[in-house]
Structure 1
C-alpha cells in the first residue's frame, strides 16, 4: 500500500469508493486547515467532504449528510 491515501474514500460499505484496507489503516482529514473527525466521504480532486447533519436520519436509517467544498488534505494516522 502506498503512503498517500486514496483520492476518494467513503465509509459506507455500499459505495464504490469504500476501501476497507485504507479505513483499517486509519485516514485523517484536514479540511481548510482544520482537523475533522466526522467526515463520511471525501474527494481530493473535486475538493469536497460529506459530513453528518446532527442526528437526523433518512428513511433508510442512514445519517443525513451535506457536501462542503474547500481544500481537502487526507493523511494516514500511522
Structure 2
C-alpha cells in the first residue's frame, strides 16, 4: 500500500511539473506576441506541437500557414 501511495504522489508531482512548464511556455509565447490560442484550442496537441517545432526550427509561419498546419 505504501508503494502505491508513493507512486501516486510521484505521478501527481510529475503532472504538476508538466503543467507548470506548459504554463511557462504559453506565457513566453504570449509575451512574444504569438497568439496560438486564436487558432488552436490545445497548443500542446499534435498540431500545436508541430507549430511549436516549426517555430523552434526558425521557420516563418504566416496565418495562412497556421491554418494549413492545423488542417
TM-score (norm 1): 0.23
Q: Which has the higher strand share?
A: 1
TM-score (norm 2): 0.25
Q: Which has the higher helix share?
A: 2
Larger Rg: 2
